[in-house]
Amino acid sequence: MITQLHFMPNRKLSAFLFSLFVMIVVRSTAQQPDSMLHVYRTEYQQEKLHLHFDKQVYSKGETIWFKAYLRAGETPSDYSRNFYVDWYDHKGKLIKHTIHPVFESSARGQFEVPAKYEGRAIYLKAYTRWMMNFDSSFIYNTRLQVAQDDAAPKPAVKQPEVSLRFFPEGGDLIKGISATVAFKAVDQSGMPVAVKGAILNNKNELIDSIVSVHNGMGSFLLEPQANETYSCAWVDEFGITHNTPLPVAKSNGVVLESRLTGNKTIFIVKRSAAVSDNFKLLHIVATINQQMVYNASINLSAKLRAGGEIPTANLQTGILQLTVFDDHWIPVAERIVYVNNNNYQFFPDVYADTKRFTNRSKNTFSIHVPDSISSNMSVSVTDASFPSDSSCGIIAQLLLSGDLKGYIHQPSYYFSSDNETVRQRLDLLMLTHGWRRIRWEDIVAEKPLQLKYPIDSDYLQIKGKLIMEKNNPIKPNQQLTLIMQSKDSTKQYFMTPIAADGSFNQRGLIFFDTVKVYYQINADKKLSDRLSANIQSGIPLMDIPASLKPIDYTRPDTSGLRAGNLFYTSAATVRSRFDTTVTLKDVVVHSKAKSNVEVLDEKYTTGIFSNRNDYAFDIMNDERAKASINIFYYLQNLIPGLTMSIPMMGANGAEDANSDNVPGLNWREGTPDIFINEMPADALSAMNLSMTDVAYVKVFKPPFMASTGNGASGAIAIYTRKPADRSTDRIKGMNSATLNGYTAYKEFYHPDYTYPVAKKPDTRSTLYWNPYVLTDKKNNTIKINFFNNDLTRKFRIIVEGVNAAGKLARVEKIIEP
């Protein structure tokens, strides 16, 4: 028989706990966890994020629109200024790495699904540089469905591989102590699977039966006995039988039980009879959002159990972590419970001023925020017949999924009601998902966090180092004139000081796509003619997280894809009505065009350097190259087996002036030879080349016969641009460099049918998208206007957002005639 919460009836429980509470010692004066937790909370608060997409299913060639919300603790995050998204195809290959500036603890962006995309989903990871310092399990990842026509090849549905895991409450099974054991069954994609089975001992005797009660989860009571081990014989919902061993019980230890009841969390700590002295005086600490809310010591010298209660009425909604330490402050048991005080929301009111459903008719909606606190929201309006996934909105993501490892199925369910059934199922979720944002061994040892990536506290920069002739040193108080020109020819002018070593840094810039930067030393034209510069945009260089492994088996969302395909089929029908022109097919003679790399190889290489036993890179047309500091940063991680230690950057963002600070290259336990324009060179010379001067790079696999030795470690050949490939776009003879900025952002297209326009089919499934709807005390009602398409007959409007106090909002409405 399955029991969800294995506690005594309330009246008996109260009397029982009263006898236990006398064992709780006065709150511990030990400040080790308290003081260090404060440091972690104030200096190392961890970020989490949510992405609001305009919809959940897309067609090939369509644009995915999104808004990102960043949070740290209970409030919007002010840590990061830059936000990153990695987009992967169905095979796990990185399609694009996009970078976006953060405003008001949020960012906006878009991604175009490739026109010839073959997969049925786009996968993505989203993160900040600050998030990369912590457990990668908490990095945001999701997938978006891509509708394909019926002729498209469908992925083969693989046989489900179901696994069952057991989670003793508190962490361990201890012989002779009764404890709750939760379980969870999932397939290889992390989707829940219903199961039932029997718990057996090593004598094949029935101990208990189990049945999952919600999303593959359930629980049972077990008191492990000496000389017994346990296993579970079970069958999944597909009819496949399995046998899984339970965790082996320890001979001695501590068990932690906990239950949230009313406005308090009750806990019981039990120990086995034969334990060492360090298990007789215990400490219990409770934290929420890295803040300690309870700290006490428990004396079990004369007792085997003790209990207590933690007031929760005034806590923020979130995960409360209870940790039991031994007398040496080593963690020995842990339990998480969810505190939901329903104090996390603000409530925008959404209503239709004018609603019309005829083709291309104008609609006006209003969004009213009754609070005087400023808010930051995003709004999408889509065809209501289109599929919508409401299972993980901003509330569920930032208050639940973002704090748990692994996939959480339909997390919004746990906020759908406050009834007992939902609360019990939420506690099952807590029992089956560990929460390890806090490394107690570091906290107790007062060990500061070792950061690989500092806080990304600035936007883009124009920074670098001037390369001067020896007899032309930098004069005191000399300044550099910078002119930044975007693709539309708009210009911005800056004056920045030059340090004695030639370095400079113009901070706090925001620019998109690529820009041309012109530079010269003020009032010294002759000196400017004799200098060059290694300039970069300051986009942080970091390792992209390991590729997502696409879900190779999942029970597909057939209803969602079916609805999406139905809409796109209807859209194609509408478009065909406008297509009345008959076009004769042209006769085309196909020939294989040379690639850019092949053209460059013929243009730049000679003799043995022309052989194809190499990796070749078109630097002139590679956006990644434009954002790289030098050729070694560019090549890092691109050549299998080639490793390099890249020089550290100085305080001003330029390389250390020390001539010994050059890359350490290694390939097949040796150092590759370096050639510049097919002449032998050293790493320092190659490192000082501006990437805007480089046209082509080849990396030859070992052995390379043009080397002075036997070429056992290969070679790197760098080719600088010929005159015909150099830019002639100059401003009054000034030197220039091309820099990469943030990923170009395009505005969502809102057609205006107020006046007659050329009759073309309008089959938009997203009718309105606005990533920044901002309100404040004086302006708390926002009107949105949009025109219908040629298909839609009812609208779905979704509003998500956060206010300055950290409260969250999600509104979803269907508007129909």
119-133 tens-digit pLDDT:
889 999 999 999 988
Element (H, E) at 51: strand 47-53
With cut-offs at 50, 70 and 90, classify the pLDDT of residue 704: confident
521-531 tens-digit pLDDT:
876 666 655 56
35-73 tens-digit pLDDT:
666 666 677 788 999 999 999 999 999 999 999 999 998
375-411 tens-digit pLDDT:
999 999 999 987 778 888 999 999 999 888 888 999 9
Examine residue 703 and say whether the peptide bond preceding it is cis (omega within 30 degrees of 0): yes
The beta strands (E) that lie in 727-794 are given as 735-740, 766-775, 781-787
Mean pLDDT of the chain: 82
Burial class, 585, CB count within 10 angstroms (exposed 0-12 / middle 13-18 / buried 19+): exposed
Is the per-residue pLDDT at 12 higher than 50? no
How would you classify residue 177: left for phi > 0, otherwise alpha for psi between -120 and 50, otherwise beta?
beta
Tokens of 627: 């954002």
With cut-offs at 50, 70 and 90, classify the pLDDT of residue 572: low
Distance CA 597, CA 616 (A): 7
Sheet holding 57-58, edge to edge: 57-58, 140-146, 121-127, 82-88, 94-101
How, if at all, do strands 305-311 and 291-299 pair?
unpaired
With cut-offs at 50, 70 and 90, classify the pLDDT of residue 8: very low
pLDDT of residue 40: 67
Is the per-residue pLDDT at 309 higher than 90? yes
**Given CA atoms 194, 240, 180, 335 in this order, what sign does their dihedral have?**
negative
Closest by Cα among 787, 791, 360, 792 to 573: 791
Is the per-residue pLDDT at 537 higher than 60? yes
What is the torsion angle, in degrees rounded to the nearest 10, for the CA atoms of residue 636, residue 623, residue 748 and residue 377? 30
Which of 204-218, 451-465, 614-628, 692-706 has the largest mean confidence? Answer: 204-218
- Lowest mean per-residue pLDDT among 134-138, 179-183, 705-709: 705-709
Q: Is the Cβ–Cβ distance between 781 and 765 less than 8 Å? A: no
The SS3 of residue 588 is coil
The position carrying tokens 């209807």 is: 570
Tokens of 168: 């003793």
Distance CA 779, CA 3 (A): 52
- Lowest mean per-residue pLDDT among 260-269, 567-576, 709-718: 567-576
Q: What are the backbone dihedrals phi and psi of residue 688, each rounded to the nearest 5 degrees, phi first? A: -85, -5
How, if at all, do strands 57-58 and 140-146 pair?
parallel
Distance CA 218, CA 240 (A): 19
- Mean pLDDT, range 28-41, rounded to an integer: 59
